[in-house]
Amino acid sequence: MAGGDEYLNGILVLSRRDGQQTRNHGDSISSYPENWHSNSILAGFGWQMTDEHLINTTIDYNNKTKNSHYDTWDRYGKKVESFDKQRSKNNRFNLAIKDQWKPTNISWIDSLTTQLNYQRTNVYDSTDLRHKTKGNFNTQTNYNTKSYNFITTLIKSYDNQRISAGLNGKWSEDESPFFSSAKSPNASFFPDGDYSKPQADSRSYQLGGFFEDRINFNVNDSNNFYLVPGVRAVYQNTKPRNLENMSLSKINSSQLGKQYNSNSDFKVLPSMAFMYDITPDFTAYLQYKRAAQMPNQNQLYGSYLAHSTKYVLVGDSNLKTETSDNFELGLKGQPVSGVTLSSSAFYNKYKNFIAYTRYNKNFVGVGNRIVYQAENRDKAYIYGAELSSEFNIGKWIEPVNGLSARFAIGYNQGKSKSSYLGDKYIEMDSIAPMKSTIGLAWDDPNKFYGVAITATFQKGKKTEATSRESYGNDGKPIAKSKDDYFRIAGHGIVDLTGYINITKNVKLNGGIYNLTDQKYWDYLSNNKLYSTSDHKYLDMFTAPGRTFQLGLDIDF
């Protein structure tokens, strides 16, 4: 519901959603049972307080509960190790207040927008495991955060320039309460079970600012050329809290304080863009941006002390920031009437990628162990090209007014290399294989009905295995991995969709997805399946077959 006038307005949105497991297309094991429901409330209020000030307030609340039953298989997907069930609860509350000020008597400000934001999230999982050999136990994990944000943006246009600048700040706290009824064979060493708290509580704050100037030059009295220099500066400081609630019998908070300490960094991130209007509706551009991803709390303060005689997985509070240099060349807009085009080629180079390195060394409080520790271990690069286009055929051939065609294709390639002796660049498993889309649509010129058929094709790809995660870090060259991953085959799926506007306010829409009932796997979700896994296990990860959807929209 929404309503208002030029001075006051408001909106209220209520949403309830319920669902079950997404079926697979296997012929042996059906998807494990799952049901979930969510409730969302969004309330917004706008007030034109004066001629200069517009106030907007938004309250957003969402909660979701999910219940699932599933089997846990071994690493290689050959046998079931436990029979489990899980109940998850997530909720998020967000409050935002924004003031847009357009002063009439200050010449150097066109508008100044200031926003304050508060957000709280709670994530809770309770898992009951019935392990074939280790018995039954319950594990409860939580991840709770609260944050306060401030951002202000100033805009000023002057002659051929449009200047924007701003400041921002964020303060956040997180905690991860944990419980497990599992008991270690060595009860004196891990009195609270085989597992310790997964990461330390922490506090983080970030301060930043940016400046950008869009300078417009007129060329030949018709074409525009734009120069857009910019810079962003950011400082972040993170430190652990409440280390006493991570303490175990042989590791106290004082010892943990030597392992986990504060982490801070300051980065200046420049950018530059050049744009040229080939025609008023078609623009070419070249841009460069330097970006940074500062370490998160788990990478800094993570702790997974499992099966005490084996290993420890731990964060490193001395981690450096991941950085990247990003270049992009592209075209966008309408080169001719009836054609919309967007294309780009890009190259991104990354440094100080964070991964886990294996050591044999002393760990605080527990002596010599196999230690997997977060480290700035890898460097990487990604390049690719994308093309998206739409052709309004009715613009050229009047009798088929309403007929349009779409074509898109994307290609990405990415490789990474660790600092290990003898390592080489190998393909990153997070890069999707080449994908293309072809579509044909008909929309009645009077907008009474429409129908579209879309075909999507994706190339097959097999993840290249690496022994980086098991490398002994003993000074010898890294060995070639013996793991063999399941090749995700290429596939093509066809979707048929349509709509009918029954009245001005009532719209019926629907679709048949995967029309040919194709059996396939999604690469990004399943690239680490092993080729030697049981075929029943592999079948569980297939995407849904032919699927139907029907919806009714009523707007008034």
Low-confidence ranges of the chain (pLDDT < 50): 186, 188-193, 306-308
Which tokens belong to 8?
């006051």
CB 450 within 8 A of CB 422: no
> What pLDDT does residue 185 have?
54
Cα three-residue angle 94-97-101, rounded to 5 degrees: 155
> What pLDDT does residue 307 have?
42
Closest to 492 in 3D by CA, of 443, 526, 445, 459: 459
**How far, in Å, CA of 124 to CA of 550, rounded?**
33
**How far, in Å, CA of 371 to CA of 472, rounded?**
10
Return mean pLDDT, the chain.
90
The values of phi and psi at residue 3, to 5°, are -170, 170
The values of phi and psi at residue 522, to 5°, are -85, 125
> What pLDDT does residue 251 have?
66
> What pLDDT does residue 308 have?
47
Q: Is 197 strand, coil or helix? A: coil
> What pLDDT does residue 159 have?
87
Q: Is 400 strand, coil or helix? A: helix
CA-based radius of gyration for the chain: 28
Report the first-to-last Cα separation within the chain, whole angstroms. 9
